Chain A
């Protein structure tokens, strides 16, 4: 019956070449560390200014077990992560529905868009002083800064994703008998999901960066606070441990989220994208 050209069996989806990518990634980081070691050992700059990777690794081990500025390294990391999770979760929980609603219910746009556009151009750090006056140097303050940094990306990308859904798809759903809710849940949101996920990824990193910034200015705990204490104590190794921890945790969050995205959006052929 079928005269259409044969195609690969559906199970043969492209799979990421994990080993090769892993080797290249490790080599890239190793090169960076080796270069750093060479420069540090060359004696061009004093060790107080640029310690060797080994010094930093030792400091890392020390901070992992000893209390510094009120907490161990894990304690500071946990404090940062807690604030970040609260702020980012609120941004996602409010931002995605708002973005979807703006695209799906056109009458909302003229009501909400102007206020949103005005507020989103106030940088997260400009909110620090007022947040401190309102909530003190608390988790709430830090989480609020994360929220402010993460919220617009959620709204804008959810709005974009839903606006770009081909109008023929809701029509197809309607002619098959789907109501508004079923169309949104089963057709529009899945199709908009890649854009929504991109928004969440951007929100995560924006929130993380804003958090560390806010911790540098205000706070009694957290990785940003650890760095600022390192500066006060004239300890470059402490600063570097903090910086590496911030970078590594941020990358880890992003990596983990990409795995979640792949698991949730199985119809997207990652690595071999084709227009549908």
Chain B
């Protein structure tokens, strides 16, 4: 096992209770701040835990979790189903309160949900009574952004996501892939500091998913968003992530935090090519092994 790890240059460590910084080589090409010794994380989850009250007693969904995401970093969270990944995401977004612990942005308490941290949901969650344009403009409209500015930003997103032809369409007229593009555009239009993606491609067919994964990968090279990305696809996690965080089965806790260097030979390839590379497969196997252990343990 150790030999495999060395060969694949996988940088792993058991999850530490305190926030840590990924291997600098892993983020060198992405983060503008990689040289600073201990920057304050952009997004930090400190001891986040969640217990649900039910009629059959308390259910611990999330054991205390610590997770720090640096500015410009894309952290993928994978884990067996039901491990509390989505709960972690809701808490990070401020849409759900943790039973204990705290969410921090730039070192300060994050407060309630808002356009500083926008979410792309698995089920798209587009507003059915708004057109594509209306959905993308929503956050700007409620923030009272002036019309000229709003239209410019919407046009920018329409262009970026390839939606210009559909600007006046209603959400129900669009395919799932197009709906998710609208949801991504809607989340980006408010210029969030942090983008939270909750299994965004989980409800899409395989081909559409592949295309959107490629686009996220390309978008990342253009824009330097801080992203926390939940997925159940190990392949997607290895392909897109600067780091992959593996969660345990319920109650979810962070099992392993794996940095994926930016100079891997398959970086820049399309996912179907990248996923056939030996180095890629080693990461995949390592992560999948961890998840399998968790599923078996349950």
Q: Interface residues, chain A, CB within 8 Å of chain B?
A: 1-5, 7-8, 10, 166, 168-169, 171-179, 182, 186-187, 190-191, 193, 265-267, 269, 274-276
| In the complex, chain A residues whose CB is within 8 Å of the CB of B143 | 177
Closest Cβ of chain B to A188, distance in Å, is 10
Q: Is B115 on the interface with A (CB-CB < 8 A)?
A: yes
- 20 A-B contacts (beta carbon < 8 Å): A3-B208, A4-B211, A7-B178, A8-B173, A10-B166, A168-B125, A171-B95, A171-B119, A174-B112, A174-B113, A175-B94, A175-B95, A175-B113, A177-B115, A177-B190, A178-B138, A178-B139, A186-B138, A187-B127, A269-B172
Asked whether B28 is an interface residue with its Cβ less than 8 Å from the other chain, the reply is no
Residue contact A175 to B168, C-beta cutoff 8 Å: no
Q: Provide the residues of chain A in CB contact with B114, threshold 8 Å.
A: 174-175, 177
Considering the chains assembled together, what is the distance between the CA atoms of A10 and B169 in angstroms? 5
Q: Chain B 127-148 against A: per-residue CB contact (8 Å), 1 yes, 0 no?
A: 1111100000011011100000
Q: Are A176 and B128 in contact (CB under 8 A)?
A: no
> Given A175-B95, A267-B170, list of 12 further CB < 8 A pairs?
A2-B162, A3-B207, A4-B211, A5-B175, A10-B166, A166-B125, A168-B123, A171-B125, A176-B142, A177-B190, A191-B128, A276-B172
- Determine if B186 is an interface residue (Cβ-Cβ < 8 Å): yes
Interface residues as binary, B142-181 with A (CB distance below 8 Å gives 1, 0 otherwise):
1100000000000000000010001011111111011001
A274–B172 CA distance with the chains assembled, in angstroms: 7
Contacts A191-B128, A191-B129, A276-B126; A10 near B118 (Cβ below 8 A): no
Question: B113 to nearest A CB, angstroms?
Answer: 5
- B177 to A, closest residue via Cβ: A4
Closest 4 A/B residue pairs (Cβ): A190-B129, A176-B139, A1-B162, A10-B169
Q: Which one of B112, B130, B142 has the highest number of Cβ atoms from chain A below 10 Å of its Cβ?
A: B142
Task: Name the residue of chain A whose CB is nearest to the CB of B139.
Answer: A176
A177 and B139 contacting across the interface, CB-CB below 8 Å: yes
Contact of B129 among A172, A267, A274 (CB under 8 A): A267
Chain A residues contacting B240 (CB-CB under 8 Å) are none
Cβ of A166: which chain B residues have Cβ within 8 Å of it? Answer: 125
Q: Residue of B at shortest CB range from A275?
A: B172
Contact status B127-A10, CB under 8 Å: no
Bound CA–CA A2/B143 (angstroms): 30
Known: A1-B162, A2-B162, A276-B128. A176 touches B175 (CB 8 A): no
Task: Tally the A-B contacts, defined by beta carbons under 8 Å.
Answer: 109
Report if B48 contacts A (CB, 8 A).
no
A178 proximity list for chain B (CB < 8 A): 138-139, 142
Q: Is the CB of B172 within 8 A of A176?
A: no
Question: Which residues of chain A are near B138, meaning CB under 8 Å?
Answer: 173, 176, 178, 186
* A contact residues around B173 at 8 Å (CB): 7-8, 10, 269
Inter-chain CA distance A266–B143, complex, in Å, is 25
* Identity of the chain B residue whose Cβ is nearest the Cβ of A176 in the assembled complex: B139
Asked whether, in the complex, the Cβ of B142 is within 8 Å of the Cβ of A182, the reply is: yes
Contacts of A169 in B (CB 8 A): 125, 127
**Interface contact A267-B172, CB-CB below 8 Å:** yes
Tell me whether B117 is interfacial, beta carbon within 8 Å.
Answer: yes
Q: Scoring B residues 227 to 267 as 1 if CB is less than 8 Å from chain A, else 0, what string do you get?
A: 00000000000000000000000000000000000000000
A176 to B138, CA, bound (A): 7
Per-position 1/0 for B193-227, Cβ under 8 A of A: 00000000000000110010001000000000000
- Kindly state whether residue B280 has any CB partner on chain A within 8 Å: no
Contacts of B171 in A (CB 8 A): 267, 276
Tell yes or no: B283 within 8 A of A by CB. no
Q: Are B118 and A176 in contact (CB under 8 A)?
A: yes
Residue of B nearest to A181 (CB): B142
Please tell me if the beta carbons of B211 and A3 are within 8 angstroms of each other in the complex.
Answer: yes
Contact check, B127 vs A172: say whether CB atoms are below 8 A apart: yes
Give the residue of B117, B142, B170 whose beta carbon is less than 8 angstroms from that of A10: B170
Residue of A nearest to B119 (CB): A175
B27 interface residue (CB < 8 Å to A): no
Q: How far is the CB of A116 from chain B (nearest CB, A)?
A: 28
- Taking CB atoms, residues of chain B closer than 8 Å to A266 are 170
Cross-chain contact B128 with A267 (CB below 8 angstroms): yes
Looking at the assembled complex, report how far the CB atom of B230 sits from the nearest CB atom of chain A, in whole angstroms: 15
In angstroms, Cα B135 to Cα A186, docked, is 11
Q: How far in angstroms is the closest Cβ of chain B from A6?
A: 9
CB of B200, distance to nearest CB on chain A (Å): 13
Chain B residues within an 8 Å CB radius of A168:
121, 123, 125
CB of B15 within 8 A of chain A?
no
Tell me, yes or no, whether B93 is within 8 Å of chain A by CB.
yes
A176 adjacent to B95 (CB under 8 Å): no
Question: Contacts A172-B127, A178-B138 known; A10 to B168 CB distance under 8 Å?
Answer: yes
Set of chain A residues within 8 Å of B118, measured between Cβ atoms: 175-176
Given the complex of chains A and B, what is the CA–CA distance between A269 and B169 in angstroms? Answer: 12
Tell whether, in the assembled complex, residue A7 and residue B174 are in contact, meaning their CB atoms are under 8 Å apart: yes
Contacts of B207 in A (CB 8 A): 3
Minimum C-beta distance from B76 to chain A (A) = 20
Report the minimal beta-carbon distance from B293 to chain A, rounded to whole angstroms: 32
Whether B142 pairs with A172 at a CB distance below 8 angstroms is: no
**Chain A proximity mask over B95-129: 1 for CB below 8 Å, otherwise 0:** 10000000000000000111101110101011111
